[in-house]
């Protein structure tokens, strides 16, 4: 059944005349007449009785027009909803590592949203999941983190999977701990000073082709006997704030975040590992206005917090 033919029939029924329907629809009268005949043939009923007084609905025709009006109203509602959404809805998605400066950038970015409807996705996860998010087309932008010794492995993977990349920041991890932690008072923290304490670590570290157990040993700067593995930033911040025996290796954090959770940030002597945060996206992808705004805020936060 042709939807246009249905629309013509409804208009003829409303006006009671082929001629008036032709003027209303700006369609030639013979075309409307032919369309209605085809519709009647498809349905196997007579919709109209044709007479010198015009087009009069048959009993079956009245029933059909009632259904047709309902269908056309639903089609109009669907078109209105999704066409408006396509024009006005703001859409943005990014998958990132758990990092204070990135979340600060996202918070500033959120202030740039207009009053139009918005659909924004921000996921904190590991590099493997971020790459999967982009390949599955669930997310448009991603930031992955890895130690620089694995640079060639990650770049080879990104090239193979058709992903473009650019370095956002390079840094050494700092130690974050409660201000009540005894280490917070030391002028110099050595790796062996950490051994009596509990390390908070992310449970989903990722390096291509390496098993998780080996990734932990390769990536974390010091091998301590006690670790608590967590998946989300809120849990790690609560643990660090409430338990003075804990510490964590993190990317540079803002003073605002440290003050909020009563934490301090310190360097560890002999920590030589360098990490990279890398922006990734599909090759050929054209950045939207929101994408560009987020990247602007990202680099601004990097300049403020990553020295």
Give the model's pLDDT for residue 210. 59
Token look-up 């249905």 returns 6
Give the model's pLDDT for residue 84. 61
Give the model's pLDDT for residue 218. 60
Query: In the predicted model, is pLDDT for residue 214 greater than 80?
Result: no
Is the pLDDT higher at 268 or at 223? 268
Do 227 and 239 contact (CB within 8 A), yes or no?
Answer: no
Would the CA dihedral through 211, 166, 98, 264 be positive or negative?
positive
Cα gap 105→217, rounded to integer Å: 30
- Reported as a pLDDT band with limits 50, 70 and 90, residue 234 is confident
Give the model's pLDDT for residue 69. 93
Do 29 and 18 contact (CB within 8 A), yes or no?
Answer: yes
Cα gap 191→282, rounded to integer Å: 40
**Residue 280 corresponds to which tokens in the numbers above?**
């990734």
Give the pairing type, strands 275-282 and 198-202.
unpaired
Return left, alpha or beta for 126; rule: phi > 0 is left, psi -120 to 50 is alpha, else beta: beta
- Reported as a pLDDT band with limits 50, 70 and 90, residue 51 is confident
Query: In the predicted model, is pLDDT for residue 209 greater than 90?
Result: no
Cα gap 147→229, rounded to integer Å: 19
- Reported as a pLDDT band with limits 50, 70 and 90, residue 137 is confident
CATH fold of 89-156+280-307 reads D-Maltodextrin-Binding Protein; domain 2 (3.40.190)
Q: How confident is the model over 151-179, as a mean pLDDT? A: 94
Architecture of domain 3-86: Orthogonal Bundle (1.10)
251-305 tens-digit pLDDT: 988 899 999 999 999 999 888 889 999 999 999 999 999 999 999 999 999 999 9
| Element containing residue 57 per DSSP (H, E) | strand 54-57
Q: Residue 115 CA to chain centroid, in angstroms?
A: 19
pTM of the full predicted structure?
Answer: 0.68
Query: In the predicted model, is pLDDT for residue 206 greater than 80?
Result: no
- Reported as a pLDDT band with limits 50, 70 and 90, residue 117 is confident
**Residue 173 corresponds to which tokens in the numbers above?**
């991890």
One DSSP character per residue, 127-189 reads: HHHHHHHHHTTS-SEEEEEEEGGGHHHHHHHHHHTTEEEEEEEEE--EEEEETTSGGGG-SSB
Q: For domain 173-273, give the CATH number.
A: 3.40.190.10
Give the model's pLDDT for residue 211. 61
Do 135 and 161 contact (CB within 8 A), yes or no?
Answer: yes
Return the domain boundaries, the chain: 3-86, 89-156+280-307, 173-273
14-33 tens-digit pLDDT: 999 988 988 888 888 999 99
Give the model's pLDDT for residue 175. 94
Do 13 and 46 contact (CB within 8 A), yes or no?
Answer: no
- Apex 98 CA angle, 283 and 172, nearest 5: 90
Is the pLDDT higher at 84 or at 76? 76
Residue 299's SS3 state is helix
86-103 tens-digit pLDDT: 557 789 999 999 998 999
Query: In the predicted model, is pLDDT for residue 216 greater than 60?
Result: no
Q: Confirm whether 3-86 and 89-156+280-307 share one CATH topology.
A: no
Give the model's pLDDT for residue 79. 82
Give the model's pLDDT for residue 134. 96
Give the model's pLDDT for residue 90. 87
Give the model's pLDDT for residue 11. 92
Residue 115's SS3 state is coil
Give the model's pLDDT for residue 168. 96
Residues 6+ apart with CB under 8 A from 24: 11, 15
Give the model's pLDDT for residue 193. 95
Give the model's pLDDT for residue 124. 93
Query: In the predicted model, is pLDDT for residue 199 greater than 80?
Result: yes
Q: How confident is the model over 121-148, as a mean pLDDT? A: 93
């Amino acid at each position: 059944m042709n939807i246009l033919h249905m629309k013509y029939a409804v208009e003829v029924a409303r006006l009671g005349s082929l001629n008036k329907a032709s003027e209303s629809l700006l369609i030639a009268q013979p075309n409307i007449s032919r369309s209605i005949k085809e519709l009647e043939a498809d349905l196997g009923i007579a919709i109209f009785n044709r007479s010198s007084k015009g087009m009069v609905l048959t009993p079956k025709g009245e029933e059909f027009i009632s259904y047709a009006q309902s269908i056309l109203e639903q089609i109009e509602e669907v078109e209105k909803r999704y066409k408006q959404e396509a024009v006005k809805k703001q859409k943005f998605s990014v998958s990132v590592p758990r990092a204070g400066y990135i979340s600060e950038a996202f918070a500033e970015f959120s202030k740039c949203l207009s009053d139009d409807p918005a659909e924004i996705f921000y996921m904190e996860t590991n590099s493997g999941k971020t790459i999967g998010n982009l390949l599955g087309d669930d997310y448009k932008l991603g930031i992955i983190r890895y130690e620089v010794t694995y640079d060639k492995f990650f770049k080879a993977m990104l090239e193979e999977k058709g992903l473009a990349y650019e370095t956002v920041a390079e840094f050494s991890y700092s130690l974050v701990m409660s201000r009540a932690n005894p280490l917070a008072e030391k002028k110099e923290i050595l790796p062996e000073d950490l051994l009596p304490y509990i390390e908070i670590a992310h449970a989903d570290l990722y390096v291509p082709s390496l098993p998780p157990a080996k990734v932990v040993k390769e990536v974390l700067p010091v091998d301590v006997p006690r670790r608590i593995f967590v998946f989300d930033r809120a849990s790690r911040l609560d643990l660090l704030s409430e338990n003075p025996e804990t510490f964590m290796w993190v990317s540079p954090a803002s003073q605002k975040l440290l003050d909020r959770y009563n934490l301090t940030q310190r360097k560890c002597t002999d920590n030589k590992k360098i990490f990279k945060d890398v922006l990734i996206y599909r090759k050929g992808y054209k950045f939207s206005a929101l994408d560009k705004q987020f990247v602007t805020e990202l680099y601004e936060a990097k300049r403020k917090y990553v020295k």
